[in-house]
Structure 1
Amino acid sequence: MDPAAEAAAEGPGAPSGRPPEASGSGSSEDIIVTGLLRRSLASAAQIKRNSDAILDAVVAQDIGKLPDDSAAETLARIPGVQVDRNADQVTQVIVRGLPNVATTYNGREFFTAELRRAQLQDLPAQALAGLEVYKSGTADLIEPGLAGLVNVRTRRPLDFKGIVVGGGLRGAYNDQSKLFDPSGNILLSNRWDTGIGEMGALINLTYSRQRFYNATRFNNTFVTDSSPTSTISPNPGKGIRYPYSVGLYNPGGKRWLPSGNVALQWKPNSDLEFYAEGYFQGYRANNFLDLWENDLRAENPALSNVVLVDGTNYVKSMTKNGGVRQQAFRSTHEAYTDSYQVATGAVWHTGRATLSTDFAYTSSIFKFFEHSLDSALASPQTIDVDFMSSGGASFSLPNFKITDPSQYIWRGYFESRLYAAGTGYQWRGDLDLDTDPLPLLRSLKVGYRVTTRKAERYSGSRYANTEALKVPLSDLSIGELSLITNGFRGNAQGFTQYLSYPFAAIDGNQSKLRQLSREGLRRRLALDPNNAELAADLAAWTSEDVQVVPAARFLAEEKTYAAYISGKFGFDVGSMQVDGTAGVRAIITNGQYSGTSRTTVNGVTTATPQTLRQDYVDVLPSMNMRVKFTDALQLRLGYTHTRTQPEFGDLNPAVTITQATGATTVMGPAGPVRATGGGGNPDLKPLTSKNYDASLEWYFSKSGSVSAAIFYRDLFGFINNYARFVQDPTFGYIRLNRPENSGEGRISGAEVGFQSFLGFLPGFLKGFGVQGNATYLNAKTRNPTFDAAGNSFTYGPFRELAGISRIAYNASVFYEKDGIVTRLSYNKRSSYISGYGVDVNNKEFANRIAAISRLDFSFGYDITKNITISADATNLLAKPFSNYFADSNGFRYTQDVRYEGRYFGLGFRFRFGE
């Protein structure tokens, strides 16, 4: 077995060592597991089998050989885990129905920027030795979130027998961007016997790059009545309804991930070990977003060729003439993340006691810059639109000459910047005491942990609206106009391209575009010298850099003090062995959160600093029990309390309130709303959950197992944004959008999993194996309902929790024999609600995501014992992502149909040494 995988069975951050060898199907003989894939499955099964908690694991077959590009993609294959994807990457990990996942790196807390968790999609899989998903906690673990805890594990030098050099290179081709991108890693490790003990050093460097381009056709979620003054042909004799606009929404660009880690170990003797580790994770992105929008309702267009859905007044297809001109933008984004963690610690085994300590410092900075060049057509173009073609919106502009530059004018220029950062210190000390020969208590563990955390965030933006000047887009002289990429497959979408400037022309010419914006605003102000709004817009452009908006500045400082006591127990009931852990963890949190509120009345803005303190105590009991009916068959039972703190930004005490100007269509409890606002909520409470788990596991061979689990979560306080109406003496009713704790929640579910090589087959067929798992979830919560005054609320009836598929499953067929390792994997999750919204009539609607499936393939061949060549393909089915919504009357339109990339990779890996 891979010694690193064996060491992981001791838990996150454990020193290298040897856990008790897992026995197969009751045999005491030492069964040698050969083949990297077999060893990977066997190691993962051993970690799951010997853990004190209920967990699932994935172990790298070798250096750089986790089966996916990122840690987040690998997690999607684990039972009970679902993921959300966008722009060809995982954007959220959901465990057993909840997104509130804590993250640790070799057992230590780590995070990205101002978040409480790490962005797992930023971790290249080549850098990792394995992943563990803890679905039930133990008292000695850093507090899991409501959803559990994901531990990311890397290698240490004493995991190897001597000098090791390993790594690989891979290139991947994206069939949408039509570009080829490299990734690779190299690991160097060695260990020495010296006069002062055994020492080891390791360095691992990783680089990954991805260029992508997605294409999306969309219907606007705002379903509107036709304008009363529009001509309609044929006239149905009644009002008609249709989406306000249709368009294209195409994200693309380049992101690359440099990362590296170092580890040093020193063992003066077999009982004492010192270690030091350093970790760097970088994220870089030069991305862009192309948007084209066709307004179908404003300025009284003429509608012809109107076809209604049978028996309704909803439009299936039509032609629009006149009205508002089409508009577009290309928004370019630069993003940077630099995350560092350095740590040192020691482990001392002394007789019956093991003492350990660990100290770490973490720093993470995120910077984001946006530069958007907006355009419009010189005049409105005829559009033929089918709102329900090939699963979604489809449109064409039959008379439009897309390559004629004279058709495009400059509409405006937008800039923004965002800065977010987080720093933190953490220290823990633990004592593990062997209490044999006490009759029930086998060991006692106590520990203490102290953390300090600082998080900050600020942002600013500005916009220059220049459309009234009618400046031809080609006159900006920042480069050559060219057609955007056509990322659509098939012929469902008629209009796919239009003229725009390249990324470098926009992102590389900020100074010129700023000067053009100033000149444009001056020209507009000269024509309308009393326009205060124009004057304010021009003032925002006097500086070269975007100024920070005071209301967007936020600072949080927290200290936590945690202590735990946990005992391992064990006894026999006849021929059955019963063991487990029981303990309690208590956490004191002291926090201070600061921001600036802003109120705008008659164009005058008043800023008011706000500061809030929160001090509270959480007590989290836990109990996990295992009943071993035989050496191969065991039952696990778990009862735990978990909590997740609100995100720092959600606790921002600042709000922004803006008085409405002119007519307003937003309705409140007693007529039109005269002000709107939003912000954080300093009254948010931590999300809490009582968790009940049961898992039956049968390990019938070294790499073969069957498991079935059921679970129930009784939770309170799930956080979402909600709109409420607050009565104010100045404005009357204010519509305020901010995060609130929801009421009770209930999640119940079941998981099944199976993996095995088919060793009973003859000859070369012995190399085949199968792996599969399925999850069922039933998740409901109660959302806030506010009284007529908006000042207090109760909780409504239970309804479906957003973001959760009822059913998800993974199925893989693999083969390993004679140097060949190949795998075909299929993943699917059923449709789910992505969120709830409120229309202009204050009626709620739901947005639902259609079922999502993926098919991936990989092939590897060992041309020598040290070198492997590989080929892989991901997202082979390339089924478009789609979501849909129902308006306040219940009629359904598809919102987005998004075409995502297929990736085809070639590579090789090498390893010299043991």
Structure 2
Amino acid sequence: MKMKLTVAALAAAGMLSSVSVRAQDAQAAADKEAAAAAPMNAVVVTGVRRAAQSAQAIKKNSDEVIDSIVAEEAGKFPDKNVAEILGRVTGVQIRRSGGEASDVIIRGLSGLTTLLNGREIYTSNNRNLHLADIPTTMLQRVDVYKTQGAEMVEGGTAGVIDVRTSRPFDFKGFSSSVAGRVENRDKSKTNDPNVSGMLSNRWKGTYGEFGALLGLSYQKGHYQDEITWNSPPSQTVPSDPSITGPIDLGHSSVKGVRERYSANWALQWRPVREVELYAEGWSTRIDHDRQSQFFIGTLMLPTYQTQYTLFPGTKQIDTATSTGDLFALSSNQAPREDSESHQGAIGARWDVTPALRVTSEFSRVSSHWQQKFPIMEMNAHPRTIVGSTYVNGGARFDYPGYDMMDPNNYTLGVLIDNWAESRGQSNDWRADATYDFGDEKLFREASVGVRVAKRKAAYQHESQNFVPNPGNLPAVNAIPGLTCPSMPFAGDYGMNRWLVVCDEYQHANIDAIRKMYGRDGQTAPDPYSMYTNQEDTTAFYGKTRFGFDAAGVRIEGTAGARVVKTELDVNGFSLINGQQVAVNRKTSDTDVLPNLTVKAYLTDKLIGRINAGKSIQRPAFGDFNPGISLGATPDGLGIYGGNGGNPDLKPITGKNADVALEWYFAPTGSLTATVFKHKFENYVVRSLALETIDGRQYRMERPRNLNDGLLEGVEIGYRQFYDFLPGWLGGFGLEANYTYMKGHLVDGGKEVPFQGMSKNAYNINVLYERGPWSGRLAYNYRSKFVDTFNYRTIAAPVGPIDLIVDPIETLDASISYKINDNMGITLDVENLNDRTYNDYHSIPSNPRDIRRYDRVIGLSLRWKM
């Protein structure tokens, strides 16, 4: 009976498709549990507690292994985009750069699928959406699925992230909110605005009930990342090949500005209680201008006169002083990117009978991305360099007696004239039917559905981007407005500033610059970069919900299977026997993806859970590109460089099992543990391997299928508010989670690590809410991980090198004050601990770089009614 009531309530709330109904069940259950748990005279739970209570109920009542983050009130989250809030979810790790959280992985793996309101969403040539592009101001909640039901869109061996926005029927009547935020960033020294608003209303008329919602968001953010680095260790002393050290040292000051314009809208119409129709959409535009002010200083070459010292007890270079005709290069890499993504959907729900529900939906996604990316280089001509290869995780170097801020000390170098563009669109139709047999039956519910989707993607980039110095270029100081000082470093790593070609000058004068280098206009596309791919999928699923009692224990579960046929048509060009040849690959695969869930209600507060299933993850469209790019100059070993795609890739297959024990001892109190195991076949990684092409050896980087892999681990989560403590202490709460992972891939019979997987990760969030005050202190830790396996292959005694990242720790904080029922103010600090990012070449005493990021202080004012 409880299930029927929940479904009826959800139908009244306008949650339309079978996926949406199942996804929203727990939200309704949270409201009912809160009402049942509270005494008659209890204060209504709101804010932080209510959000935690809803998230806990979603996890408890879901069939799948899931973690959720719920808005404290409409659109109010403690972070400004989806990627950042996911960093506090059990089993999820993120990386931050470019002023915000970027990459998201689940249980150490990047193979995830992103959904928006249960529908697939992605960028033009990738499988998922860049989650930082979704502002939290338009969200209702975010669900992270570690397992997948048969009714869910296939894809995502790591998991599924479903981002849910509000609809007008979520509110009782008229609702509106406006939020303004100003951000101060310490390294970029800027104050940036963020503004958002939402209007929603519902009303009844002659033809039924109507609802409309509109949300708008604008974000602007400057940022500066400062990096100092060493090149991989090499044999730098000809008289003693056992001594190794970096040939080059360098700095990189990355600064940029990103503007995001986002909008979401929804219309709902319920002519009668049994029928509902809706239309909704989401759009975003991102303008991203950045520049990487790059400096390379060569420390050691056989032609230099060098004095050096070694780290005690090692054969590794510590410090060096070199004189001679030194190589020093200033490069400003200045990409400007514009991207747009849109999703629109129309759908309907019809309760044919009290037991039978039918839903149907059509959605369309379109996206476009383009980049203009000129790089201009200048050469400096110092005679002495003094360098230290390991200073606080990076490199320190200087040029005594040489002024790197004097344009007379530079000459123009090469021009690298890059551009790129991608487009994508998809049409997606699905229909579902669910029949409720009743809670007294063994098989209580049956669902069936079909989904047909057609997706296209295309990509191209420039040809002949490298333009050498023609030899007759003017002097640097003879070109007005050409040079600018680089951004200063906050840390002390020797040479603090140098001159770069101004990024504004590069873009404003790009045609004149091309003519100066002997080129007219933008070059045609590189045929080896061009591809057009079409992917057609047809999926059918069947699923049943069952339940029974066994020895006094209530058992509930689901069993189902999804059958997916994927047809891929890949078109591009490849290099065969020195000739450009058109390539077409057509493949067809059929996958059967079974899924089983079992929940045992051991007591009214203790739940045991078993989930098992199979999943697939298709490679990114760009990975199928048959084109290759080959370098023209060999390295010291006579091996050329190259990269490309792989049209023969197979989808990754995952066989997954989760076993969980969950104790819900209070509406906002739980202790959960999950043991998981994933077995993989045809796992896709980008890796280097030697290939012979037209009689030359190339070290080719391209995506490849590995034989198999294994990942296993455990997740532990704890949540509690300490209401039993006296006085103001009763406002404290704690959310903490820990994830342990271990695993490997098999490459040529050798076990290699998953790229990006930390063995240990945990979050500790101290919460407080009492009266008008609320706050949080959030600490995030992830242990070291392999960024790139087989990053370089250096001659003995060094051999293959992996790029490994040191542990990362992040501390954020916020405090809010509720001025009245309609207005509140929040002060928050991101990167409170001024974290650093350190990575190294295989062993810690061979560092690659250290990176420092902005500390962000934000002040927000929020109004609602």
In 2, the alpha carbon distance for the partners of 1:824 and 1:907 equals: 17
Residue 214 of structure 2 corresponds to which residue in structure 1?
A: 203
Taking the aligned partners of 2:738 and 2:754, their CA distance within structure 1 comes to 20
Whether 1:741 and 2:705 are equivalent positions in the alignment is: yes
Residues 780 and 800, structure 1, Cα contact 8 Å, conserved in 2? yes
1:853 alignment counterpart: 809
Letter of the 1:749 counterpart:
G
Q: Which residue of 2 aligns with 1:547?
A: 524
Alignment pair present for 1:109 and 2:103: no
What amino acid sits opposite 2:70 in the alignment? V
Give TM-score scaled by structure 2 length.
0.94
Shift in CA distance, 9/611, structure 1 to aligned 2, threshold 3 Å: closer
Q: Is the 8 A contact 2:149 2:560 kept in 1?
A: yes
Paired position in structure 2 for 1:803: 756
Q: 2:841 maps to what in 1?
A: 885
Tell me the residue number matched to 2:232: 221
Determine if contact 2:19/2:151 at 8 Å carries over to the other structure: no
1:838 correspondence with 2:838: no
Deviation at 1:511, TM superposition (A): 2.2
Separation in 2 of the partners of 1:125 and 1:116? Answer: 21
Matched, 1:910 2:852: no
Equivalent in the alignment of 2:201: 190
Equivalence for 2:506: 506
2:235·2:242 contact (CA, 8 Å) conserved in 1? no
TM-fit CA distance, 1:121: 1.4
Match of 1:67 among 57, 78, 86: 78
Q: Does structure 1 retain, via aligned residues, the 8 Å contact 2:333–2:373?
A: yes
Q: Is 1:697 aligned with 2:699?
A: no
One-letter amino acid of the structure 2 residue matched with residue 856 of structure 1: D
Matches within 5 A, 1:448-847: 448-461=450-463, 462-466=465-469, 468-469=471-472, 471-477=474-480, 479=481, 481-489=483-491, 491=492, 493-518=493-518, 541-542=519-520, 544-598=521-575, 606-656=579-629, 665-666=636-637, 677-726=642-691, 730-731=694-695, 733=697, 735-783=699-747, 795-836=748-789, 837-841=791-795, 843-847=799-803
Contact 2:444 2:545 in 1 (8 A): yes
C-alpha separation between the residues in 1 aligned to 2:575 and 2:215?
A: 48
Which stretch of the first structure deviates more once superposed, 902-911 or 34-43?
34-43
Q: 1:643 to 1:680 in 2, by over 3 A?
A: same
Question: Contact 1:25/1:699 (CA < 8 Å) preserved in 2?
Answer: no
Cα distance in 1 for residues equivalent to 2:186 and 2:134: 24
Q: Which amino acid aligns with 1:665?
A: G
In the alignment, the residues of structure 2 paired with residue 355 and residue 88 of structure 1 have an alpha-carbon distance, to the nearest angstrom, of 45
Deviation at 1:467, TM superposition (A): 7.6
* Post-superposition CA distance 1:130-166 (Å, at most 9, x none): 1000101110011141001000000000100111110
Q: CA deviation at 1:618?
A: 0.6
1:278 counterpart letter in structure 2? G
Cα deviation for residue 26 of structure 1 reads 9.0
Query: Quick one: which of 127, 134, 139 aligns to 2:150?
Result: 139
Q: Secondary structure at the match of 1:515?
A: helix
| Residue range with higher mean Cα deviation, 76-85 or 496-505 | 496-505
Aligned mate of 1:869, from 807, 820, 825: 825
Cα separation, 1, equivalents of 2:253 and 2:577 = 35
Instruction: Assess if the C-alpha contact under 8 Å between 2:772 and 2:819 holds in 1.
Output: yes
Deviation at 1:381, TM superposition (A): 3.4
Per-residue Cα deviation, 1:458-491 (whole angstroms, up to 9, x for no partner): 00152332284474222222x16332111323x3
Q: Find the counterpart in structure 1 of residue 258 from structure 2.
A: 255
What letter matches 1:738 in structure 2? R
Give distance in 2, aligned partners of 1:238 and 1:279: 59
Deviations 1:21-69 (A, max 9, x none): 5547996968764221111111111111111211000011123311112
Distance 1:28 1:164, change over 3 A: closer
Q: Distance in 1 between matches of 2:820 and 2:614?
A: 51
One-letter amino acid matched to 1:854 = T
Q: Cα distance, 1:501 vs. partner? A: 3.8
Q: Is this contact kept in 2: 1:302–1:323, CA < 8 A? A: no
SS of structure 1 residue aligned to 2:515: helix
Aligned to 2:243: 240
Give the C-alpha shift of residue 878 in structure 1: 0.9
Please give the alpha-carbon distance, in whole angstroms, between the structure 2 residues aligned to 1:209 and 1:804: 31
Aligned residue type for 2:688: A
Secondary structure of the equivalent of 1:74?
A: helix
Quick one: percent identity of the two aligned structures? 30
Give SS of 2:701's match: strand
How far off is 1:83 after superposition?
A: 1.3
* Partners of 2:233 and 2:313 in 1: CA distance: 21
User: Which runs of no fewer than 5 residues in structure 1 stay unpaired?
Assistant: 229-236, 519-540, 667-671, 784-794
Q: Which residue number in structure 1 is paired with residue 132 of structure 2?
A: 121
Preserved CA contact (<8 Å) 1:85 1:91:
yes
| Alignment of structure 1 residues 3-402 onto 2, 5 Å | 13-14=20-21, 19-20=28-29, 23=33, 33-227=44-238, 240-298=243-301, 300-304=303-307, 306-349=308-351, 350-377=353-380, 379-402=381-404
1:162, 1:149 → 2: CA distance? 32
Counterpart-to-counterpart distance in 2, 1:866 and 1:26: 27
Which amino acid counterpart does residue 792 of structure 2 have in structure 1? V
> Residue 508 and residue 369 in structure 1: after superposition, are their counterparts in 2 closer, same or farther (change >3 A)?
same
TM-score (norm 1): 0.89
- What amino acid sits opposite 2:827 in the alignment? A
- For residues 722 and 832 of structure 1, the distance between their equivalents in structure 2, rounded to whole angstroms, comes to 17
Letter in 2 for 1:799: V
- Whether the aligned pair in 1 keeps the contact of 2:10 and 2:28 (CA below 8 Å) is no
Q: How far apart are residue 665 of structure 1 and its match?
A: 3.4
* Change beyond 3 A, Cα 1:664–1:66: closer
SS in 1 for 2:28: coil
Contact 2:614–2:655 at 8 Å: present in 1 too? Answer: yes
**8 Å CA contact retained: 2:146, 2:158:** yes
**1:33–1:688 CA distance, 2 compared to 1 (3 A):** farther
Q: What CA distance in whole angstroms lies between the structure 2 residues aligned with 1:699 and 1:595?
A: 55
- State the distance in 2 between where 1:749 and 1:648 align: 30
CA separation of 1:138 and 1:282: change in aligned 2, threshold 3 A: same
Q: Number of residue pairs matched?
A: 849
Aligned to 1:231: none
Assess, with a 3 A threshold, how the Cα gap between structure 1 residues 599 and 465 changes in structure 2: closer, same or farther.
Answer: farther
Indicate the SS of the match to 2:820: coil
Unaligned runs of 5+ in 2: 1-5
Residues 774-829 of structure 1: CA deviation (Å, up to 9, x unaligned): 1000021111xxxxxxxxxxx32323222100000110111111111111110010
Distance 1:676 1:501 in 2: 28
SS of alignment partner, residue 597 of structure 1: strand
RMSD between aligned residues: 2.5
Contact 2:758/2:782 (8 A) holds in 1: yes
Q: Describe the SS at the equivalent of 1:19.
A: helix
1:891, distance to aligned residue in structure 2 (A): 8.2
Which AA in structure 2 matches 1:498?
A: W
User: SS in structure 1 opposite 2:290?
Assistant: strand
TM-superposed deviation, 1:706: 1.4
Per-residue CA deviation, residues 640-670 of structure 1 (Å, 9 max, x unaligned), is 1011011111112333556x66x7634xxxx
